Amino acid sequence: MTTAALAPWADRHRKPDDAERARLIGKTVVLKTREISGPRPFACAKPQYKVTDYGPDMIFQGAFDEMQRADKRADPKALAASLGLTGSHIRTLETGCEIDIHFVDDTTAEIGLNDYVYTLKKR
């Protein structure tokens, strides 16, 4: 089941794409050995999984590092913590598709997509 919150990197002066968010909210994403099922762009026909530990600056495809380069006051560790991603190493599942999945804990994961962070809860 997915929920969404406005991402820290979203431009607060521009209206985000609520149609995409509405289409993805409440949908189920299932990680399987040979596929990820769910709505596009979460779905993936042939994932190439790799588990990696990223620093806070590198999660969400380096969005927090970019924010810090634009504004030295932007602290990647604090930004990650605001989303529940704490510590200096954040377990990430690279899928080889459009998305990487960052784990808050064993039952909660987050995916960054456009202006939103989508939260997945294990059932």
Residue ranges in the chain whose pLDDT is less than 70: 1
User: By the 8 A CB rule, do 116 and 21 touch?
Assistant: yes
Q: Phi and psi (nearest 5°) for 58?
A: -105, -10
Helix (H) or strand (E) run with residue 2 in it: strand 2-6
User: By the 8 A CB rule, do 6 and 63 touch?
Assistant: no
pLDDT of residue 123: 84
User: By the 8 A CB rule, do 113 and 38 touch?
Assistant: no
pLDDT of residue 53: 96
pLDDT of residue 1: 59
Is residue 121 classed exposed, middle or buried when 0-12, 13-18 and 19+ CB atoms within 10 A define those classes?
exposed
Domain ranges of the chain: 2-121
CA atoms within 13 A on the CB side of 7: 24
